[in-house]
Amino acid sequence: MDVKHYIAEGKAVLGMELGSTRIKAVLIGEDHAPVAAGSYAWENRLEEGIWTYFLNDIHEGVQACYRNLAEDVKQQYGVELAGFSAIGISAMMHGYLPFDEDGKLLSRFRTWRNRNAAEAAAELSELFQFNIPDRWSVAQLYQSMLDGEEHVKNISFLTTLAGYIQWLLTGKKVIGIGDASGMFPIDPETMDFDKHMAKQFEEAAAKKGYSLDLCSILPAVLTAGQNAGVLTEEGAAFLDPSGKLKAGIPLCPPEGDALTGMVATNSVAQRTGNVSAGTSGFLVAVMEHSLSRMYREIEIIQTPDGSVVGMIHANTCTSDLDAWVNLFGEFARLSGHEMKPDKLYGLLYRNALTGNKDCGGLVSYGYYAGEFLTSVPEGRPLFVRKPTDGLNLADFMRAHLYSAVAIIRMGIDLMKEEDVQIDCLTAHGGLFKTKGVGQQILADALGIPVTVMETAGEGGAWGIALLAAYMVREEKAQTLPEYLDKAVFSRQNGETLSPIPENKEGYDRFLVNYKAGLEAERAAVRDLK
């Protein structure tokens, strides 16, 4: 069926993701490829020390994004959007959206960006013996208790941004297991919130003077493939105030952006994972087993179908690297040889591969922000070398490329202590725009083959659309990894680079120097004010 009639008959699938700076909608056709898209740019606000979006920001952004999608469809195909075979909603994970029994928001929406709950996160991590980062919903809830906030006693429902939009569209208080795993720990046996830890939390809350049934205020947990409600008349009118969109469309479980990124890179099967490397960086690895103990450096979440995932997060990745490239670009302009960014990056990155495998002793710390894994509380970008080390451009750039993935490498080393096996990684982000350079650096640093796919740039809106399509698939016996392999990615192209032994040995030597110099980085934080 041609795309025009496929859309007109309501067979296309809609995915929408609310990211930090952009809301994006993607419409996919019969072959799962995007056929239309819409977007809306927005920014969070800093209000009374809290990074937030107002509810009006959220409502207007969702409607504007959908309207932009409808306009794209009308322009391309001459069709008015009126229905879909399924809808999927995704958004930035974690955060804090507490409502009372009348549906009134009780506190400012606290996004993942807030770092005000460190005390609660540390106390809960010790209590559960399970890593609770301060951006998790339960850390924000407990911090509100520690701070004596009045609204806590009136909470009837606590959810994430994706869960909130799902509630508006369907009236259902539900959440996908991946997004849920960024609210409160999941029991991998029951595929639900961990009841033992919930009881521990309630006992701790009682000591602070709060009486609550935690699981009753959290959304119901669903896994990929389950029906998560249908679009109500009110939901259709909210999404499309023009009145063209019809009610009754099924929605898949709402998911978090880290999980839809895994789907979009075909990284949900055990022993696979993906790396995002841009302004910040993270690695997610789908594990065959749980870890033997808590690591504060490793975050534990779940895939949309419930497999256990280990996540390593680096607050900064390419920021310092980009700053140096911009400096060389400024010099090029002064010399009368201005270059476009792609050419400049390509020239410097490819030259880096000609340098010494261990960077000739040069060490860089690209810390624009603090890093939990290395116990550095704030950012102080730092470049260090011994007077006896040579200084050339290739080694200099290679050291900054090595530094960009050092936190991820150190996290992988912790996972290897737990015998976590990763056969392959899929990579996406700005580090990989110069073909073959960042990809090879990452493979060498981690000792794992790295694939960059042509579709990696489609992003989470495409990923949640694939999850919605999976829900309404014809062959119900397929697992999510099977569905992605056979129905979606069998026709996708990608290039895989494997580690080069001598390069890996060079990176290992670089990392020895990197670790040895960390005290200098900490001193820079302490003394440079």
DSSP SS3 for 120: helix
Q: For 94-159+184-217, which CATH class?
A: alpha beta
d(CA 7, CA 13): 9
Which distant-in-sequence residues (6+ apart) come within 8 Å of 231 by Cβ?
87, 169, 170, 239, 245, 247, 248, 249, 250, 251
The whole-model pTM stands at 0.89
Report the chain (529 residues): mean pLDDT per 10 consecutive residues: 93 96 95 95 91 96 98 97 97 96 97 90 97 95 97 98 98 98 97 98 97 96 98 98 97 95 93 90 93 94 96 91 96 95 96 98 94 92 96 98 97 96 91 94 97 73 97 94 93 89 98 97 95
Dig out the tokens for 369 from the structure.
Answer: 């922000």
pLDDT at 529: 86
Between β-strands 308-314 and 281-286, what pairing exists: parallel, antiparallel or unpaired?
antiparallel
The predicted structure's pLDDT at residue 491? 78
Q: Residue ranges per domain, the chain?
A: 94-159+184-217, 319-404+502-527
Residues 452-488 as b/e (b if ≥16 CB within 10 A, e otherwise) read bbebbebbbbbbbbbbbbbbbeeeeebebbebbeebb
pLDDT at 425: 95
H/E element holding 91? Answer: strand 86-91
* H-helix segments, 219-256: 233-239
Q: For residue 17, give both structure tokens.
A: 């993701």
pLDDT of residue 455: 58
Report CA 266 to chain centroid distance, whole Å. 14
Predicted local confidence at residue 280, as pLDDT: 84
What pLDDT is recorded for position 457?
52
pLDDT of residue 395: 98
CA distances from 197 to 112, 121, 125, 203, 236 (A): 22, 14, 11, 10, 38
